[in-house]
Amino acid sequence: MRLKDLAAAVPGATLQTGMGYEVRRVLQDSRLAGTGDLFVAVRGQRTDGHDLAGAAAAAGAAVAVERPVPLPAGAAWLLLGDSRWGLGELAATLHGRPARRMLVVGVTGSAGKSTTTHLAAHVLGAAGRPTGYLSTIAHGVPGSSSDNESGQTTMEAPEVQAWLAHMAEAGAVAAVIEASSHALEQGRVSACDFDVAAFTNVGSDHLDYHGSRQAYLRAKARLVDLCAAGADKGVAKTAVLNRDDASFDSLAARPITRRLAYGLERPADLRAVDVALDGAGCSFRLETAAGESSPPVRLLLPARFNVANAVCAAACGLALGLTLEQVAVGLSSFPGLAGRLERVDLGQPFALYLDYAHSAVGLASVLGELRAAAPGRLLAVFGATARSDHDPAGMGRAASLLSDFFVITTDDPLEVDPGDLARQVEAGVEGRSPGRDYEVVLDRRSAIRLALERAAPGDVVLLAGKGHERTMRLAGGTVPWDERAEAEAVLRDLGA
């Protein structure tokens, strides 16, 4: 697309020079910029892209900036009111606004986003609506998927728009996007034209970035605003809100055409009733405020919070025109999800689960669910990451309160000494004795072996933190890691 036409299609963009420049790619990484690229200068926390615009232009790229900067003579450039939001608009325009060719669901929250994203995409697909998805775990188009190796829950805007275009070209009629608070704050999903804004729950996460819970909630609430302002595709713009969550009243106050409340405890437009939990999953029925009831749902995901995730996904399906029976059938055919309370069973006499929980809140939630269901003892293996907002001491406190025995180990320490992180976790342990109630074993493989050797018939073991991930990030670099494969190897060594 010519730079002149690209600028004309983006509100607030003003072409300065280079009207005939042909743009084949929009990007924000100056190191990749060359002829045919449009480099958008974005202000980051550590680096301002405006300082790199001259180098990108010298490499042959056109440049988009918020303010005039020194550029080589003859460089093609345009001016934007806001580079972050403009980045998404420019990328969407270059790809032909793919979000306007599909119905788009955005899913956000402090926990349960990935599970709900995959559930919603599966429910839509099972009802005959080919659906793509973008999640922390994987990216999918109808008929295929690939692991998300970006290290981000939600990629940068150019990658999001490229994937949406890929979905549309593959025949998708709907897309489900997991949207992090960072992505919402930074405009990575600004041109996604959402039709449904779905919320799992809103706690207190990423406060090192947002600064306060109020700012974090405002970032999440942007999804409602984006949905309400999205292009009209013939369906009512809908906010799907958790009636049982403290965020409900605040989110419900945001203007939008329609709201669907869901929950388990309080009266809502859609509820789960007759809930029964077991080690392999859960059973329930869906019931509307009008008294309609679905066929029984058998979900291959354990824990009460996964019932809430499933009802949220069901409400997304209803918002896009599915019937109660269709969403119930779709939920019952969901095959499960890697690294989200994923069961590992090689015939051992105890239950073993993998989960991605890597913060104090997430660990406490998963341990609480397993504690209620464990016939014997509850054992846990986990470590703190290098992210301060994940509250290492809180993880130690949660493990000491909710498990019978735990092993503190290593989980993506990055440049931080794993021993220092383990000591931060240990500082939160309350009323428990090292050697008797817990151990510190920094080598994760050895930590897993210790817990599985200690497990007795009827016990439940949780390996928390890595979940679906296929790498571990250490000071010396990233190394391969497959939690399920490691666990299975130990089980076989123990005779399973």
Domains of the chain listed by start with CATH number = 3-94 (3.40.1390.10), 98-332 (3.40.1190.10), 342-493 (3.90.190.20)
Within 13 Å of residue 34, how many CA atoms lie on the same side as its CB? 1
Within 13 Å of residue 332, how many CA atoms lie on the same side as its CB? 15
The count of other CB atoms within 10 Å of the CB of residue 60 is 15
Q: How far apart are CA 88 and CA 94, in angstroms?
A: 10
- The model carries a pTM of 0.91
User: 17 - beta bridge partners?
Assistant: 77
The pairing of strands 438-440 and 270-278 is: unpaired
Q: From first to last of its 496 residues, what are the pLDDT tens digits of the chain?
A: 999 999 999 888 999 999 999 999 999 999 999 999 999 999 887 889 999 999 999 999 999 999 999 999 999 999 999 999 999 999 999 999 999 999 999 999 988 999 999 999 999 999 999 999 999 999 999 999 999 888 788 899 999 999 999 999 999 999 999 999 889 999 999 999 999 999 999 875 555 555 577 888 888 999 999 999 999 999 999 999 999 999 999 999 999 999 999 999 999 999 999 999 987 899 999 999 999 999 999 999 999 999 999 999 999 999 999 999 999 999 999 999 989 999 999 999 999 999 999 889 889 999 999 998 888 999 999 999 987 567 899 999 999 999 999 999 999 999 999 999 999 999 999 999 999 999 999 999 999 999 999 999 999 999 999 999 999 999 889 999 999 999 999 999 999 8
Q: How far apart are CA 383 and CA 358, in angstroms?
A: 8
Q: In 3D, which of 230, 464, 445 has the Cα closest to residue 342?
A: 464
Classify residue 94 by burial, with Cβ atoms within 10 Å: 0-12, 13-18, 19+. Answer: buried
- 75, 81, 83, 88 alpha-carbon torsion, rounded to 10°: -110
**Cβ 395 vs Cβ 432: under 8 Å:** no
